[in-house]
Amino acid sequence: MPRQLFRSLTFGLCATVAWSQPASPPTASTDAAPIAPPDPIATMVGRLELDRYKATVKGLTQFGDRRQGTDRNRAAIDWIEAQLQSYGCTNTERIHYDYQPPAAGAGRGGGNNADPIIGPGGSRRRGYRIPEGVNNDPLKQPDLKLRELNSQPSTPGPREEVYCTKIGSPHPEEMYIVAAHMDGVGWGEAANDDGSGTALVMELARIFSSPDVQTERSIRFALWNNEETGLSGARAYVDRRKDMQGIESPPGSAKYPEPKWLGMIQHDMMMFDHGMPLKDGTMRKEQRLEADINIEYQYTSKFADASMALAHKFQLADEKYATDYPANVGPHMTNTDSTPFMDLTPSISLRENERGAQLGNGWDPQHHQPTDLYATYSDDDFRLGLNATQTTLAAIAQLTGAKLSTGNSGQ
C-alpha cells in the first residue's frame, strides 16, 4: 500500500473516532467565567432609601419656613449640624458673616429678568403661565400652629451656615462642593424649597461618611443660608474662601482648609414636576409621566464648556444608576447658589424644572407659598427627589474615585 494512501486512511479513521467520542465534561478552570467584583457605586446608591429621604425632609419642616435671621432658622442650622455629626461627618464648620438688607430697589441679585419672553438666565418662556411671587401674608396660612411658628420676622445682623467635608486620599487638596440652601420663605414649611435639596445633601453626607467609603478627592457638603435674599450665604462663602484654595495650612501638615474647587453642584427644589399649567390656571394633581431632573449650567459663564461637560457626566450617571426618572441638560442656570461660583469653577444646578422657562412660568405653584408643606407631596414627588439624590451620589462617586473597603458594611 502506498504511504500516501495509508496516511489518508489513517487520518480518516482517527477523525471518525474523534468525532464519535463523547465530549469530555468541562473542567472548572475552563468553564467558569470570572466573577466581576460588585460595583461600589451601585452598592452606595442602594443604601439610599425613600423613607429615609422623606424623614429628613420631615425633620427640616419642624422649623417652619426657616426664614433667615430668625430663631427658627438658627435652630434648623443647629439641627442640621447635629445630624451631619451623627452620620460621621464630624468635622463640621460654620461660615460667619453679617447680612444687611440691600437698599430698596436693589433686587434679589440672583439673575432675575422681568422680560415676559426671555426669562432668568436667558431662557425663553413659552406656554401657559401662572404668575409667581413670594407670599408675605400670614393670613394665607390656614394652619394656626404653623402661622405662629413662622411669625418671628427676620432681622439684620450676624448669620451662620454649616458644612462638613469628606477628606479624600491621595488628593485632599482637591474637592467638589455639593450644596443646597436651608432657608425658605412663604409662611409654609419650605419642604420643597429647599428642604428637598437640603435632605439630598444630608443623605449624601451620610453615605460618603460611612466608614467603608474612601474617595481619592475631597467632597464638601454645604448648606447655605440667605439664598432667598440674593444668594447672600453662598456669596459670603466665595468671598471668604476663594483665595484659600489649595493652600496647605500649616505648611507640611497635608491639611487643606479650602481644597481647590473642581466643581460646584447646587440642588434647589427637587420634587414637583407636574407639567405646564392648564388653560384655566390649575395644575395636574399627579406627577407627569415625563417628569425629569433638570441639570443646568450657564452658557455665559467663564467655565461654560467645562460646566456643560460636568452636567453631561451627571446625566450619564442618572442614566446608569438612577431608578425612576431621566435627566436633561440645559444652558440657563440662574437664580441659585451656584451663580457666585460659576466664573471660578465649573458649576451646575439640579432642579425639578428648568429655572427660567418652567419655574418662571409657574410650573410649581407651591414656590414661596403657604402650600409648600410636607403633606402637599406624594410618594411620586418624593421619589423624584430621591432620584436626584441617586444621580448626584453616583456622579460624585465617579468623579472622586469612590471605593468601598472590605470587611465593613457601613451605614
Predicted local confidence at residue 33, as pLDDT: 72
Burial class (CB in 10 A: 0-12, 13-18, 19+), 268: buried
List of residues 6+ apart from 98 with CB closer than 8 A: 157, 158, 159
Q: Which of 256, 160, 165 is closest to 205 using CA atoms?
A: 165
Reading the block at residue 131, the C-alpha cell is 404668575
For residue 177, the cross-strand partners are: 220, 264
Mean pLDDT of 100-110: 65
Q: Which of 214, 218, 220, 262 is closest to 40 using CA atoms?
A: 214
Mean pLDDT of 231-239: 98
pLDDT per position as a tens digit, 376-409:
999 999 999 999 999 999 999 999 999 999 865 4
370 with 186: CB under 8 angstroms? Answer: yes
pLDDT per position as a tens digit, 120-139:
898 887 787 777 889 999 99
d(CA 257, CA 52): 31
Q: Which band of pLDDT confidence, cut at 50, 70 and 90, is reported for residue 245?
A: very high
Q: Which band of pLDDT confidence, cut at 50, 70 and 90, is reported for residue 21?
A: very low
Q: Which band of pLDDT confidence, cut at 50, 70 and 90, is reported for residue 231?
A: very high
Predicted local confidence at residue 6, as pLDDT: 39
Q: Which band of pLDDT confidence, cut at 50, 70 and 90, is reported for residue 36?
A: confident
Q: Which band of pLDDT confidence, cut at 50, 70 and 90, is reported for residue 10?
A: very low
132 with 359: CB under 8 angstroms? Answer: yes
Reading the block at residue 331, the C-alpha cell is 444652558
Mean pLDDT of 31-53: 91
d(CA 205, CA 219): 9
d(CA 269, CA 353): 8
Q: Does the pLDDT value for residue 65 go beyond 50? A: yes
Which residue did the predictor score with more confidence, 168 or 27? 168
Mean pLDDT of 360-381: 96
pTM of the complete model: 0.89
Average predicted confidence (pLDDT) for the chain: 90
d(CA 120, CA 114): 8
What domains are there in the chain, each with its CATH number?
A: 43-98+153-404 (3.40.630.10)
